């Protein structure tokens, strides 16, 4: 998992586990994704993935308790590193809630028609890398979206 260095740090938020704050975080993530150069549809998708991850922290790690700490760090990472083939937008979420077995990080079956339980499916579908680990009394979730250069490939056709 990525180190806690500030290299490439774009945004760091410390918030409480309060669902009313999610709209503020969604706005910040949406704007950050735009500044990082993601196409509009991917900005919306990344915002949804981060929102679902925060909702899961509040609902499951903190079992709905308000006022518990959550830290969200967002970084733009360039491709100049071993094992990193392209630039990426990285989100690291840290909480002090109850730990979970990574095997439990599955959503409900998709053929089961009822509300809720699809957040992990959305996150897995949207993000390019997902890492979860328990460090001491903290949960660390790392979500990565690759920053592809779609504009250059879209405009490189014949004309």
Is residue 157 packed enough to be buried (19+ CB in 10 Å), middle (13-18) or exposed (0-12)?
Answer: exposed
Instruction: Give the pLDDT score at 153.
Output: 34
Domain that holds residue 114: 9-154
149 vs 38, residue with greater confidence: 38
Mean pLDDT to the nearest integer, 97-123:
66
Neighbouring C-alpha atoms within 13 Å toward the C-beta of 149: 8
User: Residue 156 above 50 pLDDT?
Assistant: no
User: Residue 149 above 80 pLDDT?
Assistant: no
In a domain, 3, yes or no: no
Task: Report the CATH number that the domain containing residue 48 is assigned in CATH.
Answer: 3.30.565.10
Two structure tokens written together for 52: 């679902």
In a domain, 4, yes or no: no
Instruction: Give the pLDDT score at 96.
Output: 97
In a domain, 1, yes or no: no
In a domain, 20, yes or no: yes
- List C-alpha distances in Å: 145 to 79, 129, 135, 152: 13, 7, 23, 18
* H helix or E strand, kind and range, residue 100: none
For the chain, what is the domain count? 1
Mean pLDDT to the nearest integer, 78-88:
79
* H helix or E strand, kind and range, residue 79: none
In a domain, 150, yes or no: yes
């Amino acid at each position: 998992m990525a180190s806690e260095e500030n290299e490439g740090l774009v945004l760091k938020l410390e918030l409480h586990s309060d669902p009313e704050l999610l709209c503020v975080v969604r706005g910040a993530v949406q704007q950050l994704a735009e500044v990082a150069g993601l196409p509009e549809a991917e900005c919306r998708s990344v915002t949804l993935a981060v929102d679902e991850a925060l909702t899961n922290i509040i609902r499951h790690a903190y079992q709905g308790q308000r006022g518990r700490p959550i830290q969200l760090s967002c970084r733009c990472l360039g491709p100049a590193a071993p094992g990193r083939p392209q630039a990426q937008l990285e989100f690291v979420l840290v909480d002090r809630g109850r730990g979970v077995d990574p095997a439990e990080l599955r959503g409900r079956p998709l053929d089961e028609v009822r509300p809720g339980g699809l957040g992990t499916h959305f996150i897995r579908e949207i993000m390019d890398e997902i890492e979860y680990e328990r460090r001491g009394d903290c949960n660390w979730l790392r979500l990565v979206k690759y920053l592809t250069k779609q504009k250059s490939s879209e405009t490189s056709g014949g004309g």
